[in-house]
Structure 1
Amino acid sequence: MDISYDLLVVGTGGGGSVVARRCNDAGWSVAQIDNRPFGGTCAQRGCDPKKVLVGAAHAVDQATHLHGHGLTAPPAIDWSDLMAFKRSFTEPVSEARERALEDAGIDAYHGTARFINEHTLQVGNDTLEGEHIVLATGMQPVPLPFEGADLLTTSDEFLELDALPDEILFVGGGYISMEFAHIARRAGARVRIIQRDSRILPPFDADCTDRLTEASRDLGMDIHLNTDAVRIDKTDNGQLAVTTRGPDGSEQTYTADLAIHGAGRVPNIEALDLEKGNVDAGRGGITVNEYLQSPTNPRVYAAGDVADTPGLPLTPLSGQESHIVADNLLGDTPHAATYGLQPSAAFTLPPLATVGLTVDEADAQEREVRIIENDLSGWYSYRRIQADTAYAKVLVDAETDAIVGAHLIGEQAPELINLFTLAIRHNMTPADIKDTTFAYPTHGSDLQYMV
């Protein structure tokens, strides 16, 4: 069936949904397309369900630290019950999203979209023509170039495990691996991490990640740095044998019940047939100008993780880009995308968080900064819960005395980083923080002593 629309949106997560809703509200005819359950990655296969699992792991972690300090034997995770609780959040998403689209008058199409020409998409048996097209297809696991890589379990599949295996090996040491590894370890699994880099979570401050590595090893995780996975085989007893190559070139094989792909993600563009739509793309995703518009096919825009922009692959930034695309489709004056502070967190236990300049970035900019470091583990906020890993590094501009960066590990780091984000955005100085009255005793009130 051939159907024409004012706007075709490929993807139903944060990058596509805002622009679809706003253009529909403006009276445009809109269709949204997805080859997976409607609602996007974050709500169903990413941040939200992960955080539900982290909540249980966090409860076990805190109870373990306080065992013998007022608490008796700590609780244990019942994986089946936890999965059922997680599904109470994820299972309603797709039906609710489709019902909302129907109520709004947005047409929903299930299937893989591919370009036929610059203004037409094929979705199953339907041929959809769009005056404008927005691509918001997100990311997918990066293909790994070694034999047996197809035996790896994805993060999507981990979040649907009915039972947790005894031994789990993670290939990669980024967000997915480290967050899931801490969940699995608190749930009783033995965990091994194979990381090709010299440290885990490279985007974060090295002093923070070094402390997390030590804490993870103290918890019983085996972490192998500067090590590559080079082959995976099935064993006769149903396990997986993962062969690795260390920094000295020697090979070592480790067995596990499950091996999980945590070695990074790439823009999900393979199925789109972009060349037929005259849409350029590179390793970073779909090529766009400052207005998030394809330079080679101006009727096409991209938003979220699939677009090659300076934005980090974070849900809030996908939504912001979707708003910018809507502004540019509906407005008379083009609106350029700007990327300021981008706070991020890794929900390990303890968690990491970062915002603003790193020391390396300050050095690269030849910007003189004052570095304020504090080991927080002996501070009241952490000692009262027996947390043994907590650290803060704050960067202050030497000329203006404004706070320009913050890097944290420890309890409530993801919440504290939001306070630092506000401080940096409003050019606050350490004196401004010290002059502020905070509710006490809270982690927030510690800011006065971190700067």
Structure 2
Amino acid sequence: MTDNYDLLVIGAGMAGVAAAKKAASTGWRVAIVDALPYGGTCALRGCDPKKILRRGAEVVDAARLMRGKGIDSGGLSINWGDLMQHKHGFTDPAPHSMEKDLQRHNVETLHGTATFTGPTQLDVAGTSYAASKFLIATGAVPRPLDFPGHEHLIDSSDFLNLEALPPRIVFVGGGFISFEFAHIAARAGSRPVILDRGATPLKSFDTDLVELLIKRGSEAGVEVRRRTSVTHITKTSSGYTIHTDTAGTPASLQADLIVHGAGRVSELARLDLEAAEVGYGEKGVEVASHLQSITNHVVYAAGDAANTAGLPLTPVAVIEAKVAASNMLKSTMTIPNYAATPTAVFTIPELVRVGMLEHEAHESGLNVDVRYTDTSGWYSNYRIGETAGVTKILVDKDTDLIIGAHLFGNGYAELTNTISVAMKHGLTTRQLKSTTAVYPSEGSDLASML
């Protein structure tokens, strides 16, 4: 027997949930399916639990910065087990509450691996389902690695569930996951090492600020080895030996734990997209700019599962999913607005970007003013004992509009939200500087950065 829906959403992360609720609110019969607990990577295995663990690292780091300035930080440490329980206090109830919320919004909730059996049909745990429209919002998984011994690595989900943190941790890859987790681990007493194949990690961020982040991380105990590839890994009686190649020179290092931080790819393997006549590649389902599959027009895709122009971020995935749902409901071809989307690496302090990189701005032909400010000695940093802080804001001289902003410092992720609003809505730097901010606050520093 086949059950029929107006929309069947594959993937119960934030994007899939947003689209399902939007479509159901109009009276469509909607179902959502996932083989994993409802909530997706961000809520259960990524952004949210990561930042809960980061809080412990923030507290330890903040106390150490104030050592000799009125705070005795001696003996202050992270109890990893207690911190992990605090994390579970958020993540464990989330799947149930999210599923109940979907049901309250008249979305039918299904569990199991979804596999297409035709252009308009799915199989879930032996039951066949048909739908007029499908949304693929399955997210991403760690990129497959092919060097001998790769099976010894754990992924980000495993790290976020570790019962104990060992002293020697190696992160393979120089991206978000490696840097964020390494900064947490260092404050928790481990000695993390990041191995990156390139000359500069975090390639989508301003290179000048990345160097400052690496320096600040080194002071906290995070080691970064560049131009270093893993050739193979062997298990030993006391852990693992990681054999590497650094610019042609072989070397090795010992580890108790090795974490995969070498990127992610779309999670499409189990869908059998060939049966659905849906075209796809390494970057996801091949969709038009309005998120409709190029080869099967009843299928849409959003987030990390689609090869869109958007950044691989949860807020972007949610926007895409809502636009996809609207396009299905109204038979329109609306394109998501990706303008001024900020992104951050939540190290300590954080590194943030919105808009163009400096070289992109110069190459664009715009009349660029690069406003570089060292904020390390400013009151906001002095107050907390921080000695690292830099901003680089790119302004079009002809229009006085911000075209890019790059910030490294405590609290600068929140500050970037204000810059993003200004960029998206066309506020000039003069208009931003004319506003009266709460003082003293990081927000009140913005006018001086401009």
Aligned to 2:189: 188
Give the TM-score normalised by structure 2: 0.97
Secondary structure at the counterpart of residue 92 of structure 2: helix
Shift of residue 433, structure 1, vs aligned partner: 2.6
Letter of the 1:125 counterpart: G
State the alpha-carbon separation in 1 of the partners of residues 207 and 103 from structure 2.
Answer: 48
Shift of residue 339, structure 1, vs aligned partner: 1.9
Root-mean-square deviation over aligned CA pairs: 1.2
State the alpha-carbon separation in 2 of the partners of residues 121 and 190 from structure 1.
Answer: 47
Secondary structure at the counterpart of residue 23 of structure 1: helix
State the alpha-carbon separation in 1 of the partners of residues 99 and 445 from structure 2.
Answer: 45
Gap runs ≥5 in structure 2: none
Aligned to 1:2: 2
Shift of residue 332, structure 1, vs aligned partner: 4.4
Instruction: Give per-residue Cα distances to partners, 1:191-242, cap 9 Å, x unaligned.
Output: 11100111121111011100001111122222101111121111123x0111
State the alpha-carbon separation in 1 of the partners of residues 433 and 134 from structure 2.
Answer: 50
Alignment of 1:75-224 (within 5 A): 75-224=76-225
Shift of residue 141, structure 1, vs aligned partner: 0.2
1:32 aligns with 2:41: no
Residue-pair matches, total = 449
Alignment of 1:392-431 (within 5 A): 392-431=391-430
Letter of the 1:158 counterpart: F
Shift of residue 333, structure 1, vs aligned partner: 3.4
Aligned to 2:442: 443
Alignment of 1:43-442 (within 5 A): 43-74=43-74, 75-237=76-238, 239-247=239-247, 249-442=248-441
Moved more, 416-425 or 294-303: 416-425
State the alpha-carbon separation in 1 of the partners of residues 15 and 106 from structure 2.
Answer: 19
- CA contact 2:17–2:102 (8 Å) conserved in 1: no
Letter of the 1:146 counterpart: F
Identity of aligned residues (%): 42
Gap runs ≥5 in structure 1: none
- CA contact 2:350–2:410 (8 Å) conserved in 1: yes
Shift of residue 432, structure 1, vs aligned partner: 2.2
Letter of the 1:5 counterpart: Y
Shift of residue 427, structure 1, vs aligned partner: 2.7
Letter of the 1:417 counterpart: T
Letter of the 2:343 counterpart: S
Give the TM-score normalised by structure 1: 0.97
- CA contact 1:14–1:304 (8 Å) conserved in 2: no
Shift of residue 357, structure 1, vs aligned partner: 1.5
State the alpha-carbon separation in 1 of the partners of residues 333 and 372 from structure 2.
Answer: 43
Letter of the 2:374 counterpart: D
State the alpha-carbon separation in 2 of the partners of residues 374 and 107 from structure 1.
Answer: 52
State the alpha-carbon separation in 2 of the partners of residues 271 and 61 from structure 1.
Answer: 42
Shift of residue 168, structure 1, vs aligned partner: 0.4
Query: Could you list the runs of 4 or more consecutive aligned residues of structure 1 that deviate by over 6 angstroms after TM superposition?
Result: none
State the alpha-carbon separation in 2 of the partners of residues 333 and 261 from structure 1.
Answer: 40
- CA contact 1:14–1:322 (8 Å) conserved in 2: no
Shift of residue 165, structure 1, vs aligned partner: 0.9
Letter of the 1:232 counterpart: I
State the alpha-carbon separation in 1 of the partners of residues 284 and 362 from structure 2.
Answer: 29
State the alpha-carbon separation in 2 of the partners of residues 98 and 433 from structure 1.
Answer: 42
- CA contact 2:361–2:403 (8 Å) conserved in 1: no
Shift of residue 399, structure 1, vs aligned partner: 1.5
